[in-house]
């Protein structure tokens, strides 16, 4: 039986530790459940570079074929490429085999709807119900599915992103920036160099072997980008880009060789968005106020949602948004697709840099000085609600938003967001203020309330 501690199932998919909770039996079961849920049809399948990916791919192919699905295998590819391929093939759905920014021993499945968007929460719940009921609709020998390969999926995806740049394409190629990109030996290693060359960049790649043997933690955050920062300094590059294992997230290093917060990614993309692309910006409650500042520069409003890509996408569709994203380095540009896409992020940021001139550090300093602090405290799901009630009582006199957990905003522009994680038994605490000491104080105050309530609940 899978070890529950390392098995994460939910409406966003399933993930676990390979050889522990993520077993071939589990993978086959979810493939059969997805095929049953779709009623057969065409399913696009792709994976990141983790060594366990081939095992997972084979298990999924068998389960999908058994339910009569025709499988289009795009091989190793970024998640946004897999989503693009679902739309391009007019497939009935797709599965991305990737644990994204998680360590190498993990792997996971992301399920994609026929519109190229991750399953909505209700669709994910329906899929889970099919899986747990176990009443799969298996095809007869004559009706088993087939498998075909599509090795042009990456090229087709990148061509579409480049096409959407319009006149900004020429601005980038005229500037010819020097860029270092750290692919973390993930799926981006098959695409990033080609993409940046197409934009006229001078490109230096590091960790560009697509073998899934990560040179560092694949989460693209400043503390993991020492090697990229050194390479930017060595090559006197204009900037550095870092991707996670499935190339949907992006973080930057400036021209001084300084890794900057992943929160800048969506802020820069928002600021770079051409004014002739109308609509609001959508970001989650945990994303930096820099998004609000960038949106205000262009007369756009910001809509805040609960954390989770699908929550942002749902609001973007509803509000006809021009851009969406998360402060984890995720950019969602509808013209490229409704999913986090590091290539869309790179394109917009390079276009913005070419249009405004100057350097990345100049761009950084155009925003209000600030610091964001991110903490977490162990907290089981069963205790999350009483903890949140205690927080709501403590901040009852402040301006609050209870869309997800509790977000508190103060007149000086500082804010606090406390919420239970969607994937781990922890309470996440984020705070932003002009000074790091002030942000730390906001976070510490909330953490003390959380720990006090946990101590009361479990003496």
Count CB-CB contacts under 10 A for residue 115: 13
* Concatenated DSSP letters of 358-393: S-HHHHHHTSPP-EEEEEEEE--HHHHHHHHHHHHH
Cα(7)–Cα(10) distance, integer angstroms: 10
Q: Which one from 21, 100, 192, 342 is the annotated catalytic residue? A: 100
Cα(449)–Cα(414) distance, integer angstroms: 19
CA 328 vs CA 57, 104, 168, 266, 374: distances in Å: 28, 19, 25, 9, 11
The SS3 assignment for 97 reads: strand
What secondary structure letter does DSSP report for 22? B
> Contact 427/418 with Cβ under 8 angstroms?
yes
CA 283 to each of CA 261, 290, 294, 338: distance values in angstroms, whole numbers, following the listed order:
16, 11, 12, 13
Torsion 454-456-457-459 (CA) sign: positive
In sequence order, what are the residues at sequence separation of 6 or more whose Cβ sits closer than 8 angstroms to the Cβ of residue 254?
232, 239, 260, 359, 360, 361, 364
Q: Rounded to the nearest 10 degrees, how much is the dihedral formed by the CA atoms of 78, 83, 85, 86?
A: 150
Q: How many residues does the chain have?
A: 459
Question: In terms of Cα–Cα distance, which of 307, 299, 318, 250 is closest to 283?
Answer: 307
The tokens for 375 are 């903490």
Q: Is 100 marked active-site?
A: yes
DSSP at 422:
S
CA–CA–CA angle 150, 153, 157 (5° rounding): 165
Q: What are the start-end ranges of the E strands in 310-409?
A: 323-326, 330-332, 371-378, 399-401, 406-409
Maximum CA extent, the chain: 68
Half-sphere exposure of residue 79, counting CA atoms within 13 Å on the CB side? 29
DSSP 8-state assignment for residue 327: T
Pick from 214, 221, 199, 325: nearest CA to 273: 325
The DSSP code for 26 is: H
Measured distance CA(172)–CA(104) in Å, rounded:
35
- Residues forming the active site: 100
């Amino acid at each position: 039986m899978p070890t529950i501690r390392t098995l994460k199932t939910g409406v966003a998919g399933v993930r676990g530790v390979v050889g522990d909770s993520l077993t071939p039996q589990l993978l086959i079961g979810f493939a059969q459940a997805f095929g049953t849920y779709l009623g057969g049809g065409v399913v696009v399948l792709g994976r990141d570079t983790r060594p366990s990916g081939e095992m997972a791919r084979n298990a999924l192919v068998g389960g999908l074929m058994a339910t009569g699905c025709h499988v289009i295998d795009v091989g190793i590819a970024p998640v946004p490429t897999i989503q693009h391929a679902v739309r391009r093939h007019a497939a009935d759905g797709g599965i991305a085999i990737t644990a994204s920014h998680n360590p190498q021993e993990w792997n996971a499945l992301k399920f994609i709807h026929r519109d190229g968007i991750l399953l909505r929460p209700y669709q994910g719940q329906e899929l889970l119900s099919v899986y747990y009921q176990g009443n799969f609709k298996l095809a007869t020998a004559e009706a088993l599915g087939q498998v075909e390969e599509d090795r042009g999926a990456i090229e087709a995806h990148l061509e579409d992103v480049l096409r959407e740049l319009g006149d900004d394409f020429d601005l980038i190629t005229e500037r010819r920036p020097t860029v270092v990109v750290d692919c973390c030996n993930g799926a981006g290693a098959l695409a990033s160099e080609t993409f940046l060359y197409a934009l006229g960049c001078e490109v230096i790649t590091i960790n560009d072997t697509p073998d899934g043997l990560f040179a560092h933690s694949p989460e693209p955050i400043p503390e993991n980008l020492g090697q990229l920062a050194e390479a930017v300094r060595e090559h006197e590059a204009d900037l550095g880009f870092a991707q996670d294992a499935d190339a949907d997230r992006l973080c930057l290093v400036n021209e001084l060789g300084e890794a900057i917060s992943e929160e800048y990614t969506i802020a820069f993309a928002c600021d770079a968005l051409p004014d002739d692309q109308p609509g609001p910006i959508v970001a989650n409650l945990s994303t930096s106020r820099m998004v609000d500042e960038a949106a205000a520069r262009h007369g756009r409003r910001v809509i805040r949602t609960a954390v989770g890509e699908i929550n942002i996408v749902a609001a973007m569709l509803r509000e006809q948004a021009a851009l969406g994203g998360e402060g984890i380095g995720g950019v969602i540009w509808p013209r490229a697709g409704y999913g986090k896409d590091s290539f869309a992020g790179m394109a917009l940021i390079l276009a913005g840099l070419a249009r405004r001139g100057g350097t990345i550090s100049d761009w950084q300093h155009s925003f209000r000085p600030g610091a964001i602090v991110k903490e977490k405290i162990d907290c089981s799901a069963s205790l999350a609600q009483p903890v949140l009630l205690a927080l709501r009582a403590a901040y009852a006199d402040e301006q609050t938003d209870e869309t997800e957990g509790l977000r508190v905003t103060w007149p000086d522009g500082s804010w606090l967001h406390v919420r239970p994680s969607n994937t781990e038994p922890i309470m996440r605490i984020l705070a932003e203020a002009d000074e790091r000491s002030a942000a730390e104080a906001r976070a510490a105050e909330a953490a003390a309330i959380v720990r006090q309530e946990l101590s009361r609940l479990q003496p």
